Amino acid sequence: MLEQTAANRPTLEAVAARAGVSRATASRVVNGGAGVRQPLVDKVRAAVDELGYVPNHAARSLVTRRHGAVAVVIAEPEFRVFSDPFFAQQLRGISRELTSNDIQLVLLWVENESDHERIARYLAGGHVDGAIAFSLHGDGRLPALITGSKVPTVLGGRPGAEASPALPYVDCDNRGGAREAVRHLVSLGRRTIAHIAGPSDQTSALDRIAGYHDVLVDPDPELLREGHFTEESGARAMAELLDRRPDVDGVFVASDLMALGALRVLHERGRRVPRDVAVVGFDDMETVVRASDPALTTVRQDVEGLGRLSVKLLLKLLNRPAGHVPASVIMPTTLIRRASA
């Protein structure tokens, strides 16, 4: 492309004339091409290339969105993606926000480690304008591969140390929410407060553990059990807790789904909730909370809102000059008091 000054820059009018379309059509194509027939889109894009048209700042965003598609990568296997309502809710927010911008969502998930390179190849292959990756695990190679693919990416959830610090992210205040949950159990007079945590290779789990430790200095390590954010792992952790510390009278569980499993085991073992053991969850997933008996006290995070926010952040990233990374966003959490604590 020739060096150009502002004075001799080709205009959108020139592009329209070269392509043989109206200025409005040329503008729509430069703005993403929505509603324009493919042959016209091709003609306008060819004219843009031939003339070396550089859109002004306001229009530049559109050129960066040439594929009209964004990849959403969930670093979890299919059985988790389609059984944990957390993912559906996050995808609902992402899907709605992308659709309202006429951008196609393409979903990819990770069945096992051997998928990582193929996903990175797809991302690097020029099929999408950007990516949103969530539920990353610290021990995987995916964060590095995503960074290496050079596709503008926003993370759902604070990245671990191994991910590039240049990737912006959206997250909820995991640590603050956990603190509030544990403080609530303390305020109820509970003395032996356990924590059923998520997997220790995820920052959301680590941050909730940190919040637990912020309130309870030096608790018995037996009171901290690790699950995998599944109902079954919550049940298993609760059973272990009751075996090792039968005097437990409060449990902060790092997800509603795990709390459901914990409540089931407490019921089976004849412990009354909240009288014998008070239980606080995390997430406030409607479908899960509806199934809980008694109604679950939990830390609410706006999962759909986080999904929407991740898209907004990605669009900012795509529309900023190279090297300018928008600031990450942390959403607040709220304790929702119901019957279980």
Applying CB under 8 A, the residues found at the interface with a copy of itself are 33-35, 38, 67-69, 71, 78-79, 82-83, 85, 87-88, 91-92, 95-96, 99, 102-109, 111, 114-115, 117-119, 121-122, 124-125, 127-128
Rounded distance, CA 288 to CA 290, Å?
5
Could you give phi then psi for residue 71, rounded to 5 degrees? -90, 135
**What SS3 class is residue 93?**
helix
Q: Minimum distance between the CB of residue 225 and a copy of itself, rounded to whole angstroms? A: 26
Cβ-Cβ contacts under 8 Å for 324 (sequence gap 6 or more)? none
* Tokens read off for 94: 């992402």
Q: Which is nearer to a copy of itself, 95 or 333 (CB)?
A: 95
Nearer to a copy of itself, 203 or 292 (CB): 292
For residues 279 and 288, which CB has a smaller minimum distance to a copy of itself in the complex? 288
Q: To the nearest whole angstrom, how small is the minimum distance from the Cβ of residue 107 to a copy of itself?
A: 4
Residues in the chain, total:
341
- Alpha helix positions (H), the chain: 12-19, 23-30, 38-51, 57-63, 78-81, 85-100, 115-124, 142-148, 174-187, 203-215, 231-244, 256-268, 286-291, 303-319
Position of tokens 């018995």?
220
Question: Is the distance from CB of 300 to CB of 334 less than 8 angstroms?
Answer: yes
Give the shortest CB-115-to-a copy of itself separation in angstroms: 7
Closer CB to a copy of itself, 110 or 266, in the complex = 110
Give the nearest distance from C-beta 82 to a copy of itself in angstroms.
3
Q: Which amino acid is at 246?
A: P
DSSP-derived secondary structure letter, 158: -
- Smallest separation, CB 49 to a copy of itself (Å): 17
The DSSP output letter for 269 is T
Place of tokens 């140390």: 161
**Is residue 94 within 8 Å of residue 108, measured between CB atoms?**
no
Pick 8 or 114: Cβ nearer a copy of itself: 114
Of the pair 47, 73, the CB lying nearest a copy of itself is at 73
* Cα 298 from chain centroid (whole Å): 20
In the complex, minimum distance from the CB of residue 57 to a copy of itself, in angstroms, rounded to a whole number: 26
Q: Give 139's contacts (C-beta < 8 A, 6+ positions apart).
A: 201
Phi, psi of 136, deg, nearest 5: -70, 150
Nearest approach, Cβ of 100 to a copy of itself (angstroms)?
10
Complex with a copy of itself: residue 111 or 222, whichever CB lies closer:
111
